Amino acid sequence: MSNNDRVTCIPLWDCLLVPLHGDVGDDDADDLVSEVLQRIQRDECFGVLVDLSGVWTLDSHLCSVLARLALAARMMGAKTVLSGMRPEIAMTLETMGIQLRGIQTEATLEDALASMGITRVSRRDQASDDVLVQLLLAGDSGPAARTSFETKRDRGQ
Amino acid sequence: MMTTSSEKPSRPSTEKSAPLPDGLTSMLERFVSPISARAMLRAAVVKAERATGAASLVAVLQQLELSSNILILPSQREEALAAIRSLMPVARPVIEERASFEAPAVEESISVVRKESDLNYTRMLAREACSLVGVRGYSAQKVVTAVSELARNIARYVGDGKVRFRIDTDKEQIIIIAEDQGPGIPNLDDVMTGNYRSKTGLGRGLMGVRNLADEFDIQTGSDGTTVRIAFRYS
């Protein structure tokens, strides 16, 4: 795995997060495709998240590279989602008449993660969380265990 | 060495013609080689005759001012211009105005495009041109993307060409000229109507550039292709 310094691939559970930034040269784009496809096979990823928030310019060539990447990844069983396209880039592509057919695009990285089924679980009730932890530690389950825990805590107080 | 005005007796001299001072050649030789100095002077005389009908001293000096922008090293240009102007018989404000008007036309950035790794530099020049006239956001993105497409066409299909950047302060335009001496685009009509699809999945590049630019002109033939695009920045 050499000469791939310019492409960052971050494993994220079963997905691959690929943040692109700056001026993505043609060599970088080629590296990107080969690196991502290798990682899909090696790490058994089912999703590729390409984040474009830091990209300066997106021209027809980079679009076609991304479309090729998405197509090849799909053949390998992985879904590709683009996220974070800046408004001026989106408007430029629209003016040029370039449509990213066959690639799912999302506004933000959060939305892209959600489309992969990865969502944030909010911790609403700290107390009930503690209960859960204690239950798991106790190795018990069901209402009986819950009762026993509460009893223990009551005793402690 | 005689000056070239005396070597051209065929053209009848008019009342505006005056013998050029001997010091002209030696003055030019301070900045360029003797051969270049003679060539500069000869060309200036011919151009002055074409432009004004006679090789008057003022007309010749004006031509020398223009050619000094090209032939004299930037570090010496100021000094050379001062030397040329010091020979002007009468300091006329009209001449100064004309000189300052024509000088910016030479101000252009050029990027030589041979391979795809040259694209980054070309895009950087496009960004610089935008920031020079305060173009940002979507407008700047249009310029840089269009330049990227044109430069890529040169790198991919020809392998040798140039992209020139000019800023026209009169029309308030960024002008970009991409030129090459390649074989030309044989199926231009298909390319411009969107019926063409290249092997790499591109083919919308030129059409996209036409949509992005405020002005678009393409000349293509067996001796090369020149695309001239302009973006307003007012």
Is there a contact between A22 and A56 (Cβ–Cβ < 8 Å)? yes
Residue B95 has pLDDT above 50, yes or no: no
CA–CA distance, B144 with A57 (Å, rounded to integer) = 7
Q: Phi/psi of residue A139, each to 5°?
A: 75, 10
b/e map A92-124, b = 16+ CB within 10 Å = bbeebebebeebebbeebeebbebbeeeeeeee
Q: What are phi and psi of B116, to 5 degrees?
A: -70, -20
Q: Model-level pTM greater than 0.80?
A: no
Q: Quick one: which of B136, B131, B141, B134 has its CA closest to B109?
A: B131
CA–CA separation, B112 and B108 (whole Å): 13
The pLDDT tens digits for A132-150 are 677 777 765 555 444 444 4
Give contacts of A64 with chain B, Cβ < 8 Å. Answer: 200-202
Residue among B138, B141, B156, B197 with most chain A CBs within 10 A, to mutate:
B141
Which site among A57, A64, A98, A100 would you substitute to test the B interface, given the most B Cβ atoms closer than 10 Å to its Cβ?
A: A57
The two structure tokens encoding residue A17? 């997060």
Put simply, the answer to whether B149 touches A60 (Cβ < 8 Å) is yes
Q: What are the tens digits of pLDDT across the range A91-140? A: 999 999 888 888 899 999 999 999 998 888 776 666 666 766 777 777 65
Residue B145 confidence class, pLDDT cut points 50, 70, 90? very high
* Contact in structure between B112 and B151 (CB atoms under 8 Å): no
How far is residue B123's CA from residue A23's CA, in Å, rounded to a whole number? Answer: 9
For residue A23, list chain B residues with Cβ-Cβ distance below 8 A.
Answer: 120, 123-124
Q: Show residues of chain B in contact with A87, CB under 8 Å.
A: 138
Minimum Cα–Cα distance from A56: chain B residue: B141
